[in-house]
Structure 1
């Protein structure tokens, strides 16, 4: 079940990266160049991850890569929380953006459970 949940989350997130790349390039921290490319690239990775998980064509080394990916994009979630007004995210409650932060760890843990 965790494999299907994570696969669905990755597949949806990856698809949204392609439908609305501006949102994802905007939440990329300011010090990172090529924001639009990064939005598409991370979206492609998420789409691939989701597909692999849903098709159950996954190896432990790929799951480890997914976990590393989640930690690599974690700064975007921190950036969203710390720059909420600047990013035009004022309509979202501060607690909701803060709540995204522990979700990364939950997702990493779910991938770890899939490894077993």
Structure 2
């Protein structure tokens, strides 16, 4: 069940990167160059991860790569929280952006459970 949940999350997140690349480019921290490329690239990775999880064709090294990916994109979540007004995210509750931060750990743990 966790595999299907994570596969669905990755798939929808990957699709969202292609539907609204400018939103994902905007939340990329300022020190990272090529923001639009990064938005598309992370979208491709998320789609690949989603398909691997949904089809069950997954190896432990791929799950470990997904975990590393989640921590690699974690700065974008912090950036959203710390630069909410600058990013035009005033319509989102501050507590909601803060609540997203621990989700990286939850998702990483779910992937760890899939390894077993």
CA distance in 2, matches of 1:82, 1:3: 31
What is the root-mean-square deviation of aligned Cα atoms in Å? 0.2
CA distance in 1, matches of 2:85, 2:59: 41
Structure 2 unpaired stretches of 5+ = none
Structure 1 unpaired stretches of 5+ = none
Q: How far off its partner does 1:27 sit?
A: 0.1
Query: How many correspondences in the alignment?
Result: 116
CA distance in 2, matches of 1:104, 1:112: 12
Write out per-residue CA displacement over residues 49-87 of structure 1, whole angstroms, 9 at most, x where no aligned residue: 000000000000000000000000000000000000000
Q: How does 1:1-116 map to 2 (within 5 A)?
A: 1-116=1-116
- Compute the TM-score of the two structures, normalised by the length of structure 2: 1.00
CA distance in 1, matches of 2:55, 2:75: 29
Q: Which runs of 4+ in 1 moved over 3 A?
A: none
